[in-house]
Amino acid sequence: MSEQNIFLLDGEEIAFAPGQTIMQAAQSAHKYIPHLCWHPEFKPHGSCKLCTVKINGRFGSSCTVEAAAGQNVENRTAELDDKRRTLLQLLFVEGNHFCPSCEKSGDCLLQATAYEMGMMTPHFDHFYPDRPVDASHPDVMLDFNRCILCSLCVQASELADKKNVFVMGGRGMRGRKIILNSESGKLGDTDFSVDDRAASICPVGVILKKRVGFVVPYGERTYDKAPVSAVEAAK
Amino acid sequence: MKTAPSPALNDPGIVPAILARHGHDATRLMQILRETQESLGWLAPETLTAIASGVGWPRAKVEGTAAFYSFFHLRPRGKYCVLWSDNITDRMLGNRELMQALCEKLWLEPGRLSEDGLVSVNTTSCTGMCDQGPAVLVNYRAVTRMDMARVEQMAELIRNQVPLDEWPAEWFQVTDNIRRKDALLDHGLVPGEALAAAMALGPQGLIDEVKAAGLRGRGGAGFSTGMKWALCRDAAGEAHYVVCNADEGEPGTFKDRVLLTSYADLVFEGMTLAGYAIGAKRGLMYLRGEYRYMLDALESVLARRRAERLLGARILDKDFDFDIEIHFGAGAYVCGEESALIESLEGKPGRPRIRPPFPVTHGYLDQPTAVNNVETLAAACLVARHGGTWYAGLGTGKSAGTKLLSVSGDVERPGIYEYPFGVTVAQVLQDAGVTNCIQAVQISGPSGVCIGQDELERRIAFEDLPTAGAFMVFDCTRDMFEVARNFAHFFAHESCGFCTPCRVGTQIVAQLMDKLETNHGSPYDIDEMFKMHRLMQGASHCGLGNSACNPLFDTLNKFRPAYERRLKSLDYEPAFDLDAALSQARQMTGRDDAGAHLDNME
Ligand SMILES: Cc1cc2nc3c(=O)[nH]c(=O)nc-3n(C[C@H](O)[C@H](O)[C@H](O)COP(=O)(O)O)c2cc1C
Ligand code: SF4
Ligand code: SF4
Ligand code: FES
């Protein structure tokens, strides 16, 4: 790594390897940039926009923009966290999120990020979309009320499992959704298995394994013990 | 109610024949889906399964594409599907009243299939007929100039199940309405003339002329065409491609329609020039589904050009092979964005790609691709024939050449006007004929700018008012709030849904505008809209989301009284009438005293 391969993240010098995105470089340096649709195992998707930073004064998605020497990257500023709070509120009102009864509560990246950003209320009127629950598979159930359209299950199923059980289709807020790879549209009619990578990738409470629900009780889960910024920085 | 027959089983030979015609090629999925639907009426679950196994894609991927486009039907659609173009110009011509009348005559609600499965009536985004609206699509064929007499006759034809081919031919007539010609529309070139001149220059010489001409993209962004071709030519790849962007989805724009109708040779020749310049063998024209009616005419121009050795192998006896194929979109404005367009050409949902890389290096099938607007390619013919210096002499310093404007709205002579760049808005208005006082002109469509009556001396040019061509005029009787509300719903309908700010933000804005429309808004809601504007402008993934709040921002700044008239009070107002919501409870409890009304509760 040459000496010049350094950029500034909130004033701190961060070294990067050529070809790394700002997000990857920050992660390697144990710095937290908020994110929902990014996962180190997969290609950046660039859809949630929680990772929006300012690069030399211009907005950009840190998960897709490559790091470059001398960039001045603003991350946890009041302006950006304010935008992130609004984005989170948009995600909450477009789905049906009822955290107190959700099996994922405490392990959910959406909920944890909302705490991190100090989101106190959903602010906007709820859309209350009509979204399905699919219990047709013997080992896994799906509750699309909580889907944030991050496409991680799509990538996991396509690239890791080589199955394409989940595909993103449709258009706009009312149309875009996960489509399951069977004529009936049911998970039980696909070749999905509980051992698939896609079965454990969902950052929120959509893809849930049956019969293991509350093995770890509320209060002792990942983000109950430490905020997401600390959990991520420790990785 | 009759249940719709399962079409795939009805006619087992149709899907295999279509698949075979397209070589079972998944990148041709859009065309396979369209042709299948044209034969079978809709895309049933088992039809999609058959297509998926035919092209070798996972079924969900095929369904994902089909579900993205407004013109593909995954549920029975009815024998007649009537879609009213819902641009603001159609509204100003009374489309809503006409649609209501049609629905009443057919005994149905907009958006619902009739009980007998015969007909559905709904709206669609601008169909590019603003100079001859109100317009509709019947089974995706364009009908212009609707009026009450036509509505009555149409209801009759539908009830009697008269086939579309037997409907009055003049309904399907689309006229050019060319009102002013300049260098491009008066080009005087014969087919092959520009191409021969280009071949005398050689590919590099042609690129140099296009650079010298200062030709800039007419699709909106205004990127240097010579530079684009040079970057593409220099990019390494197995094959290079030319793509003509004929998606023309920006409401109020219809100039590409006219170029493709009466200047198709020039457009195809421009594509061929681009192919020669960048070293491509294949050109793809991506035509919006609304222009399906043009297909036969365009195919016959292509056939003639092949016969004249202007396309195909060894063009003009030189060592240059090039051919063009036509692809259709299926009702998705975002597919005008070049990377979404390329996704669509590959058979996928029109989702804008992460950029960089740009299409010039990684475009169609990940190969170097030059995407150009219809008008840009036509103008390139003038450059090839007359040289860069001549072309650069037209227009202004930073905006060489001429521009086609699609003029519609409150003018006497709506249609196509061609001017050298630099023309003032006032001049265009005078030529198009205005009788009433002008309140505003929306330049370049909803994603462009809205100017007020004190700005009419501004000029059409990249230096001042850049435009993809739309020019919608609103006189002093028009309600600019309703204009902005129409645009807000347009963006909410057309957002691809990929990124959070645009997917949800456009819906929030449309909802807030509706709240204001029903007089339930407050200044707080206006602040909320500004806040969404600031969020979407910076954080959206593509140009659609970035510009979706432009009309709102402009009209709020320039026509604020149109909004303030609607504000109920200076405080926060919920989106619905709380007191009215309690009426059912009052009825159930048999109470109607003061304490049962909200105003009186603390
Ligand atoms: C949402 C959106 C819609 C667009 N629609 C069109 C269109 O209908 N036609 C077009 O030529 N360009 C359209 N563009 C611009 C294209 O992305 C691209 O810049 C253009 O086709 C390049 O051609 P040009 O350089 O000849 O202008 C659109 C861009 C965006 C962001
Ligand atoms: S199901 Fe989960 S992983 Fe898949 S897109 Fe929705 S939120 Fe993301
Ligand atoms: S800005 Fe809108 S249209 Fe563009 S990618 Fe995002 S959701 Fe899709
Ligand atoms: S983490 Fe970058 S857009 Fe989602």
Tens of pLDDT, residues A171-224 = 999 999 999 999 999 999 999 999 999 999 999 999 999 998 888 999 999 999
A168, A176 contact by CB (below 8 A): yes
For residue B9, pLDDT over 90 is answered with no
d(CA B439, CA B338): 34
Residues belonging to chain B: 602
- Answer whether residue A57 is part of any domain: yes
Is A167–B60 a contact, with Cβ atoms under 8 angstroms apart? yes
Q: Are residues A203 and A121 in the same domain?
A: yes
Q: What is the dihedral of CA B109, B111, B112, B114, to 10 degrees?
A: 70
In a domain, A232, yes or no: no
What pLDDT band is residue B588 in, cutting at 50, 70 and 90? low
In B142-287, alpha helices (H): 148-159, 193-213, 225-234, 255-262, 264-278
In a shared domain, residues A116 and A185: yes
ipTM above 0.85, yes or no: yes
Of A59, A76, A93, the residue at which a domain comes to its end is A76
Residues A27 and A107 in one domain: no
Residues A32 and A72 in one domain: yes
Query: Do the strands B80-85 and A133-134 form a parallel or antiparallel pair, or are they unpaired?
Result: unpaired
B321 class by beta-carbon count within 10 Å (0-12 exposed, 13-18 middle, 19+ buried): middle
Query: Which of A45, A88, A152, A187 for mutating ligand 2's site (highest number of atoms within 8 Å of CB)?
Result: A152
Ligand 2 neighbours, Cβ below 6 Å, are: A 147-153, 178, 201-202, 204, 206-207
**Are both A127 and A70 inside the same structural domain?**
no
In this structure, the answer to whether residues A32 and A143 fall within a common structural domain is: no
Nearest CA in chain B to A66: B356
User: Same domain, yes or no, for A196 and A121?
Assistant: yes
From the CA of B71, how far away is ligand 1's center (Å)?
21
Task: Look up the domain containing A206 and give its range.
Answer: 102-223
pLDDT band per the 50, 70, 90 thresholds, residue B487:
very high
pLDDT of residue A214: 83
| pLDDT higher than threshold 90 for residue B218 | yes
Residue B194 makes CB contacts below 8 A (sequence gap 6+) with B266, B269, B270, B273, B380, B381, B382, B384, B385
Q: What is the mean pLDDT of chain B?
A: 94
A234 lies in some domain? no
**pLDDT tens figures, B10-35:** 677 999 999 999 999 999 999 999 99
Within a domain: residue A178?
yes
Say whether residue B489 is in contact with chain A using an 8 A CB cutoff: no
Beta-carbon separation of A172 and B70 below 8 A: no
User: On the CB side of A226, how many CA atoms lie within 13 Å of its CA?
Assistant: 8
- CATH number of the structural domain spanning residue A34: 3.10.20.740
Domain membership of residue A174 (yes or no) is: yes
Please indicate if any CB of chain A lies within 8 Å of the CB of B495.
yes
Q: What percent of chain B has pLDDT over 90?
A: 90
Kindly state whether residue A82 falls inside one of the protein's structural domains.
no
AA letter at A156: A
User: In whole angstroms, what separates CA B225 from the centre of its chain?
Assistant: 22
Residue A118 sits in the same domain as residue A180: yes
Look at residue A51 and tell me if it is in a domain: yes
B596 exposure class (CB count in 10 Å sphere: 0-12, 13-18, 19+): middle
Helix, strand and coil content of chain B, in percent to the nearest 5, comes to 50, 15, 35
How far, in Å, from the CA of B248 to the mean position of ligand 1?
8
The total number of structural domains that make up chain A: 2
pTM greater than 0.80 (yes/no):
yes
Give residue A4's pLDDT band: very low, low, confident or very high (50, 70, 90): confident
Question: Would you state the pLDDT for residue B468?
Answer: 96
Of the candidates A93, A176, A181, the beta carbon closest to that of B58 is on A181
**Do A158 and A59 fall into the same domain?**
no
**Is the peptide bond between A132 and the residue preceding it cis, with omega within 30 degrees of 0?**
no
N-to-C CA span, chain B:
52
Same domain, A45 and A108: no
Domain membership of residue A85 (yes or no) is no
B208 phi and psi angles, rounded to 5 deg: -60, -40
pLDDT at B567: 86
**What CATH number is given to the structural domain containing A148?**
3.30.70.20
Report which protein residue has its CA nearest ligand 2's atom 3.
Answer: A202
Say whether both A133 and A198 belong to one domain.
yes
